[in-house]
Amino acid sequence: MEPLTIGILSIALLLALIFSGVHIAISMGVVGFAGLVSIMNFSAALSVTAISFYVTGSSYSFIVLPLFIIMGELAAASGIMVGAYRFAATWLSGLRGGLYLVTTFACALFAGCTGSSAATAIAVGKSVLPEMLRLKYNRSLSLGCIAVCGTLGVMIPPSVAFVIYAIATEESIGRLLLAGIMPGILTASMYMAGTSILVRIKPALAPPTVHHSWPERFRSVPGVLGVFFLFSIVMGGIYSGFFTPNEAAAWGAFAAMLLVIRKKGQFLGITKQAALETIATSAMIFLLLMTATIFTKFLTLAGFVDAMSKAVLDSGFNPYVILMLFIVICIILGMFLNAGSVIILIAPLAHKALVPLGFDGIWLGVIMVKMFELAVITPPVALNLYVTQTLIPESTIGEVIHGTIPYLVMECVSIFILILFPQISTWLPSIAYGK
């Protein structure tokens, strides 16, 4: 049987298992191991599986993943979001639709501490939503704003999504983390500019502005220092070359722990809960990564990866047409699968197919993570939509979806800009690490 046929049938079987309800990690492991048995023998397949599991699970470079996760858990529990919200609210006062802008700005700030989309949406939503409702902001747009702006947590580093992509494609974790800064700023700016235009076109979406005095603004500055403290340690250390990504993650986790110490009498409880959440999340991600390694190993040994790369190179299609094909696949899979699973499943194949066409692997990671953003707000499996809906129990998921529509348009514009100008993604990594 031809390698391309083997790969296509294997992927079809994998998707069939996933959509029938089998966990994606088990599906990849079963299909990958069965494939290895078919091209080797049972003993050899078992040996390859054991070695692959050990290499993936014991790699020192992967320690950055649980460290960033526990840093985000501790940062979310430390209460620094309250100070970040007050800072954003006072400094953006006087602008029409100010709380929409505050939500975006606060999400961008908090994203630099947590690396989690859902955690960002919950933390910011709990702070800003009561004030939005009190001032009679449009409820649907308010929910949509929180759900979509929460996705900045997966773009602005430290980002777990970039670490997963780096592991799946063997790209530099440090370069990828730096690559997310400018696209994150671009996306947040796009949300703020688009919202400003929207509330001017439809003034009913936002009440008259609330003004804060300059003394109030300056008094809010200390509240944001915790956010800048964490972000400067992690990204400042990586950018300056003072820390490796692993060291920066460790120092970031330690710094987040110092912030939690301020909550007297709660330190042990918060730390224990953060550790348990980190263990559960890390175990899930590592299981996915290990089984994905088996599945990818099978596709490689069967010749599918080389055959696919050759077919892409020989197709004669414009490289951007092939890029758009992978983007469409990511969007469709993201409607049904966990977003992290989509990256683990698609990133190695996309990397093998697109990098030989001249696309930069780091820039491709940014585009893939942008698809991650879309996945968490695209039904039916859209974590941010359901998380945001729980903030107002009497609201409906349809109400949240309706509120996200303007932001989805803004997101598509930002993706188009990043595709048109890849230098936005590659500029900082090239300065820090060289070409």
Q: Is residue 358 part of a domain?
A: yes
Q: Is residue 411 part of a domain?
A: yes
Q: How confident is the model at residue 128 (pLDDT cuts 50, 70, 90)?
A: confident
Q: Is residue 112 part of a domain?
A: yes
Query: Mind listing the pLDDT tens digit for each residue in 174-210?
Result: 899 899 999 999 999 999 999 999 998 998 888 877 7
Task: Specify whether 26 is located in the same domain as 100.
Answer: no
Inform me whether the pLDDT recorded for 337 exceeds 90. Answer: no
Inform me whether the pLDDT recorded for 424 exceeds 80. Answer: yes
Q: What is the mean pLDDT of the chain?
A: 85
**What value does the mean pLDDT take over residues 16-38?**
87
Q: How far apart are alpha carbons 226 and 216 in whole angstroms?
A: 19
3-state DSSP helix/strand/coil percent for the chain, to nearest 5?
80, 0, 20
Q: Which of 96-100, 163-167, 262-266, 330-334 is the most confident on average?
A: 163-167
Q: Is residue 271 part of a domain?
A: no
pTM (predicted TM-score): 0.82
The pLDDT > 90 percentage for the chain reads: 19
pLDDT of residue 333: 79
Query: Mind listing the pLDDT tens digit for each residue in 304-320?
Result: 877 877 777 777 788 88
**What value does the mean pLDDT take over residues 270-294?**
86
Q: Is residue 269 part of a domain?
A: no
pLDDT of residue 403: 92
Nearest CA to 335 out of 372, 307, 280 is that of 372
Task: Specify whether 91 is located in the same domain as 222.
Answer: yes
* Amino acid in position 155: M
**What value does the mean pLDDT take over residues 298-305?**
82
Task: Specify whether 121 is located in the same domain as 36.
Answer: no
**What value does the mean pLDDT take over residues 331-357?**
82
Task: Specify whether 36 is located in the same domain as 182.
Answer: no
Q: How many domains are there within the chain?
A: 2
* Amino acid in position 249: A
Residue 75 near residue 230 (C-beta atoms within 8 A) = yes
pLDDT of residue 416: 93
Q: What is the DSSP string of 213-270?
A: -HHHHHHTGGGGHHHHHHHIIIIIHHHHTSS-HHHHHHHHHHHHHHHHHTSTTTHHHH
Q: Is residue 391 part of a domain?
A: yes
Task: Specify whether 322 is located in the same domain as 293.
Answer: no
Inform me whether the pLDDT recorded for 113 exceeds 80. Answer: no
pLDDT of residue 435: 67
Per the structure block, which two tokens stand in for 390? 């729980």
Quote the domain boundaries for residue 204: 62-263+306-433
Q: Is residue 395 part of a domain?
A: yes
Task: Specify whether 159 is located in the same domain as 11.
Answer: no
pLDDT of residue 115: 67
Inform me whether the pLDDT recorded for 77 exceeds 70. Answer: yes
Inform me whether the pLDDT recorded for 56 exceeds 80. Answer: no
**What value does the mean pLDDT take over residues 257-274?**
86
